[in-house]
Structures are given as C-alpha cells and as structure tokens.
Amino acid sequence: MTTARSTLWLALAIGVLMLYPYPVSMLVAGGGTASAHAIAGHLCILQADLMLLLAGFVMALGSRMLGDLALGDPLVDRVAAVAVLLAVQDLPLTALAIVVPEHEGYAYRLTITHLLTVVVVLVMTVRMRRAPRPYRSPLLVGLLLGLVTLAPQLLLVAVGGPTFLDVRMPADLVVLFVSTALVLGLAVQLISSDLPLWAAWRLSGAVLALYAGRVWATVTEASQPPPVTVVAIVFFSALLATTVIGLLRRALAEVDGRLAVLVHRTADAEATVQHDREVAHEVRAAVAGVVAGAQLLANDQVSPGPRKTALLRMIETEAARLNRSLSAESPGTPSEVDVDAVIEPLVVAHEARGHVVCWNRTGHRTIGHPDAVAEVLSILLSNADRHARGAGTTIVVTRRDTMVEIRVADQGPGLDPVARAHLFEWGARGSTSQGEGIGLQRAHRVMLEEGGTLTLASSDELSGTTFVLRLPCAAVRTERPLRDEGQPPEPHVQAPASVRPDLSRAAAARGVAS
C-alpha cells in the first residue's frame, strides 16, 4: 500500500511537470496564442510518448534482470511491449503534427486504424493471462507491433483518404462503439490479471483516461490539441511510468526477501553439516578407544584385575556417552562434574590405543555437563596422540581461585606458528597436519557454552603444546588426599608388561580415529 500511494503522488508530480510547455508558451507569447497553445500541446504529447518508450525499456530490462521474481514473468513483458508499441505508433505522428500543422490531428484524434491498435493490445493482454512464458525480447515485439499499427495511419496520410472518425457517420460511430467496448474489455482484463491489484487498477484507469481524452478530441473535432486530451495523454504516461517504478520496487523487495530466506537456509544447512561433521569427528575418536579396549579384552591380553575392570568400565562409559551424543535429547541443566570420573575413562581408552597419558587423581569438581567436558578432553588427547608423534601426554588438574584448571600437555614438536593465529577457527590446521580442522574449533565453542574457556598456553611455559581448560569450581572432595601441587603426575596404569596392551595391535586400532 505504501508503494502504491508513493507512486501515485509521484505520477501526479510528474504529470504536472510535463505540462510545463503551457505556462512557458503563455509567458513567451504574452498570454498565449492558438499556435503557441498547439505547439505546447504537441510538446507535452511528445514528452509523454518518450516517457512511454523509456518506461517500456526500463520494464523490459528489469524483467530480464530479475527473471520471474515478483514481476510475474509474462505480465511485465506484455506491459513493456504495449508501452513500446504505443510510443512507436505515436512518436512519428506527433513529430509530423509539429512539422506539418495540417496533419496535427493524428497526434490526438482517433482514426479507423486505432481499432487495429486496440485489438492488438487486447490480444496481448488476454495472452498475458495464458502465455506460459515471457517474450524473449519485449522491446523488439513492441517495436514490430508499433510499426504494424503505424503503417496504416501513415498510409492514410500519404493517400489522403478518410482520416478521423466522424460521429455523424454511422459507420464511424459503429467503429467508435466497438473501440469503446474493446477498451472496456481491455480494462477488465487488466484488473483480472495477475498483476498486483493496485498496479492493475492504475493501468486500467490510465488506459481509460487516454481513450476518453482521444474520444473527446474526436467528438469535438478539435483542430488543435485540447488541454483535456493533452492532460489525459500526459497522465497516462506518468501513471504507466510510475507503475513500472512501483513494480520494480516491489520486485526488488521480494528479491531481497527471497535472498534473505536463501541465506538463512544456507546458514542452517551449513550449520547442520558442520554439526554432523563435528559429531562424526568425536564419534570416530571415541569408537577408536572402545574398539581398542574391546580387542584387548577379546584377545585375553589383559589379566583379571583392576586393569580389566577399568577397561570394562571405560567401554561402558564411552558407549553410553556416544549414545547420548547421537541422540537428540537435551543435555539438561549444568551440574557438579567429578573431573576424575570424566578423565579416567578417556585415559584408559587412550592407553588401550598405545597412547600413554600421565595423570593423577585430584578430587576436583566443577560445574557443567560431564559429556561436554569429556568431549573437549577427548579432542585434546586425540590431537596430542596424532600430532605429538609418540611423545607422552600429561594431564594436570589444579584449582586457581574460583576456577578448575585442566592442562593437557604433550612433548611433541609444537604447533605450526602460522596456525596459531587461527587455531580455534573452523577448518584451521597446520601445513603438515592431516586433521580436518574441526576438533579444536568445536572444543573451544563447547567450553564457551559451558561457561569456561579453552586457551593455548604460551610457548615458553612447557615444551611441545599445552592447552588449558578453565571451568567454574564446584567443590573439592576432602575424603581423599589431593595431589600436592608440586608432585608430578604419573601414568594412570602401572601394569606389568604381561598385561600391558600389545602396541602393534593398539596402533592398528588407532586407525579408526583417523
């Protein structure tokens, strides 16, 4: 509605401005003469014809640029072709009227050849509702049809035959009635077309005004352009031009809306794919530990005792975590997390794969989701196993003020300096890395969601690479002694060689996580 109102006011303003030749002629001619008024009228009609041509060009160009978005595919092409048709038909006649005054009536009065114009325009409007495809070149179609309707009028001028309709002649009166009926039918077709209702009413009103102005000039047998007819022709062009502007604005708004929807859908699709890849990344790492532990148990490589119990508990814990990761259930509200209970299955899983992790129990507890903390630690341990080239990995858990700090350090060659700046971005990885650049990005995001942080320790703290997790502290268990802050961590399992995992088999199992 805003577009319709704004373009209507614009049409009125343009129409008034296009009538400027009248006041200019009055000023120049000192009040105006008949010839001055006639020239002013023809200049106004010439401007209207040029505006029709420009409107047709803009409409055709907009239709081609925007395709079938919002403009209504064949609809605008037909309107553009009609605008060009009328401009091509009237421009030469208006120029002829200015150059040869005795032929000026052709610029504003009806002739029998206008019946052909009305029929052509009506057929194009009817086909507007039925044609499945737009014109390939509405400008060319309008040009050709305009020349077809112009030719009979130029022929009448050349041979000096019957020219304008005379309402005193029965035959001419019949032609006038038929033309009027066809114009009314054209207006009805426009209103019932697929154009926006405001645009359809605007165009049909403009057509009726144009025809009524020409009928008035014909009935009164005007010898020069009547102001009423000139105003009708001018405002017809202004209405059509501003309707084009309104349709283009509407089309652009709809294109913007569709683009916004496409961008939203693309973002949703990318987020879904990214989430699925993240889940798959974590599943591969967790399954590798479960498979390695299951192989050790299946091959009787672990004697009954604490080690076997730890492996069984690890398989049960990791399988349950995987099941929760793959389900759509909500993780629930944050709660107290026993850091030792989270770390132990992960350490056991990595030891089953041949990756020795040094760690001591501390009894620290934090606030969050156990599965989220386990996922982040699993990512860091898998990265250390993959990139540290067999070097050991150490987990140190301490409390600093109100935060629990978990350090995961390896003694590998360290990070690629180029990768440090984009370490936690999606797809970021070093030049020699064979990873996907998924794990650290997800681990960093998960820690933020948990109300904690994941950072890379400065290179001068420890050799290799050290990542630091910080989570809000919940409480410290006092029923077990805590590791002294200065005491170095020890390997989680100190089993005899006979019960340690076969590293060749474990190395084969590690391929599951790649």
Q: Give the tens place of pLDDT for each residue, 192-240.
A: 877 788 888 888 888 898 899 999 999 998 888 899 999 999 988 888 8
Q: How confident is the model over 248-272, as a mean pLDDT?
A: 82
Beta pairing class for 357-359 and 393-400: parallel
pLDDT computed for residue 272 by the predictor:
75
| pLDDT band of 483, cuts 50, 70, 90 | very low
Q: Which residue in the block uniquely carries the two structure tokens 């050349």?
A: 158
C-beta neighbour count of 194 within 10 angstroms = 11
Q: Chain-wide mean pLDDT for the chain?
A: 78
CA distances from 151 to 89, 116, 141 (A): 9, 11, 16
Enter the pTM of the model. Answer: 0.54
Rg of the chain over CA atoms, in angstroms?
Answer: 42
Which segment of 54-58, 225-229, 326-330 scores lowest on mean pLDDT?
A: 326-330
Strand partners, 365: 338, 475
Closest CA to 363 of 388, 341, 392: 341
The pLDDT of residue 332 is 77
Please give the pLDDT value at position 123. Answer: 84
Confidence of residue 134 (pLDDT cuts 50, 70, 90): low
Do residues 360 and 487 touch, judged by C-beta distance below 8 A? yes
pLDDT band at 291 (very low <50, low <70, confident <90, very high): confident
Which pLDDT score, from 0 to 100, does residue 144 have?
A: 92
Q: How does pLDDT run across 346-403, given as a tens digit for each residue?
A: 898 888 888 888 999 999 999 999 988 998 998 888 888 887 766 778 999 999 888 9
Based on the number of CB atoms within 10 Å of its own CB, is 4 exposed (0-12), middle (13-18) or buried (19 or more)?
middle
Among 135-139, 341-345, 361-365, 499-503, the least confident range? 499-503
Say how far apart CA 110 and CA 168 lie, in whole Å: 14
Residues 440-472 have pLDDT tens digits of 888 888 899 888 999 888 765 546 888 999 999
Find the angle CA(211)-CA(217)-CA(221) to the nearest 5 degrees: 145
Task: Kindly report, residue by residue over 60-72, the tens digit of the pLDDT.
Answer: 777 676 655 544 4
Q: What values do phi and psi take at 335, rounded to 5?
A: -145, 180
Strands 403-410 and 453-456: unpaired
What local confidence, expressed as pLDDT, does residue 340 receive?
93
**Sequential DSSP letters for 100-164:** -GGGGGGGTS-BTTHHHHHHHHHHHHHHHHH-SS--S-HHHHHHHHHHHHHHHHHHHHHHT---B
Strand partners, 469: 406, 454
- The residue type found at 165 is L
More confident residue, 456 or 432: 456
